[in-house]
Structure formats: C-alpha cells, structure tokens
Amino acid sequence: MALPSNLSELDRIKAECKSMVTKRASASGLAAAVPVPGVDITADIGIMLELLPAINRKFGLSHDQIDQLDSETKKVLLVLITSAGSELVGKVITKQVIAKLLKKIGSKIAVKQVAKYVPFIGTAVSAGISFGAMKYLGNSHIDDCYNVAKRYIEKSQ
C-alpha cells in the first residue's frame, strides 16, 4: 500500500485501523482474563508485534515501504516522523521495541497482574485494564501515523 494521496483516503485508513485496534484490544482483554501468569503479557507482545506493523503498512509508513520511495520523498518523511517524535512510525517493530513500549504503561500492567488474583472481580478488572491499555497504545500509534501522513499530504499539495 502506498502513502495516502488525499485526506478522505487518509480518514478511511484511520477508521480501518481504529477498527483493527478495537478487535486486537478485545483479544488482549480475553487473554488477560485467563488466570495463568504470563499468558496475557505473551499475548500482548504477540498482538503488538502484529498490530503496529499492520498500522504502519496501512498508512504506507512501514520501514520497507519508506525504503522503496525516492530519496526526496524519503527525506521529507523522515523529517516528519522525527518531528512527530514517534518511536514506531517507519521503524522495524521488534520484541525489544514492544517491551520498551510496555514499560511505559508498566504501572497498569502491574495492577493488571495483581488484579487477576482478586476473587470474582479481579479477572474483569484485569481484562478491562488490558483492553484499555492496548486500545490506548494502538490508537496513539494511529494518531502518530495519521499526523505524519497528513503533514506529508499538505506538503505535497
């Protein structure tokens, strides 16, 4: 998929990605409901390893897609990505990158782990935290990609 060429296409991509994030966040919440230690973290890492590159690709901002662009377009995009301060747009997403990202929401993860062991309500709390954290991370990445692509479209016109 190439870079979006206009704002209506960009808005369509954003809506598709938001739907994708909601589905993956639901899967994360379900994994968090499993009362086995570590299952949810493993699931979250797997989900993020698949989700973040998929969002980059949808916006035409994956590492490989950017590499295939002409040098002038590549320069413009790299400046836009750097100025946006994103650690994920246009990058190769690895387990180490995901681990660093999850550390940023470490307190929520810690609460989620402890909440699992509270009888009855703990599983629901853990699932809710996991859903919310995954949705927040995914939507934040969408916003970063959207802003980079929007600024690129504006510069190109």
- State both tokens at 12: 């369509």
The residue-averaged pLDDT of 59-76 equals 91
Q: Which residues contact 33 (CB under 8 A, 6 or more apart)?
A: 123, 124, 126, 127
Q: Rounded to two decimals, what is the model's pTM?
A: 0.83
The residue-averaged pLDDT of 4-33 equals 93
73 or 120: which carries more pLDDT confidence? 73
Q: What is the mean pLDDT of the chain?
A: 83
55 or 37: which carries more pLDDT confidence? 55
